[in-house]
Amino acid sequence: MAESKEIMATGRRKTAIAVVKLVKGKGRVFVNGRKLQDYIGNMPAVEMMIYRPLVLTENQEKYDVRVKAVGGGIVAQAAAIRHGISRALLKANEEYKAVLKSEGLLTRDARVKERKKYGRKRARKRFQFSKR
């Protein structure tokens, strides 16, 4: 069983987790066994967001990307995929660090939904006050 060299990395955003594998190839992206366009539908901004680290490092034609994404919504998964691709590219070549870091692609976006507190409608919203 001869396997080609693949680079693995994990990306996260909100509750979405993406396990990314970079393999030498022609620039195709597969998410959960489907082509990227089939997975995200007609959302060109999200597609550009995913390809951003590959475009910045000029690797869009050098690697095939295979992703297993779970949790969150489509946009959160796309951000997790972008984070995972950035981390995998960094493993492939340390020289990409300056470019990726300046664009903020190596930083995990830690903003998550705040939990609901008891005695409140949501995390911070209160019930309407009635004096009489």
Q: Which residue has the tokens 């959960």?
A: 32
Structure tokens at 31: 């998410």
| pLDDT recorded at residue 132 | 87
Structure tokens at 92: 């492939």
Q: Confirm if 52 and 82 have CB atoms less than 8 A apart.
A: yes
Give the model confidence (pLDDT) of 106-117 as tens digits.
999 999 999 999
> Is the model's pLDDT at 2 over the cut of 70?
no
> Is the model's pLDDT at 103 over the cut of 90?
yes
Task: Round the average pLDDT of the chain to a whole number and report it.
Answer: 94
| pLDDT recorded at residue 5 | 87
Q: Which of 7, 6, 59, 2 is nearest to 28 (CA)?
A: 59
Give the model confidence (pLDDT) of 50-60 as tens digits.
999 999 999 99
Strand partners, 31: 34, 67
Q: Which of 29, 48, 49 is nearest to 39 (CA)?
A: 29
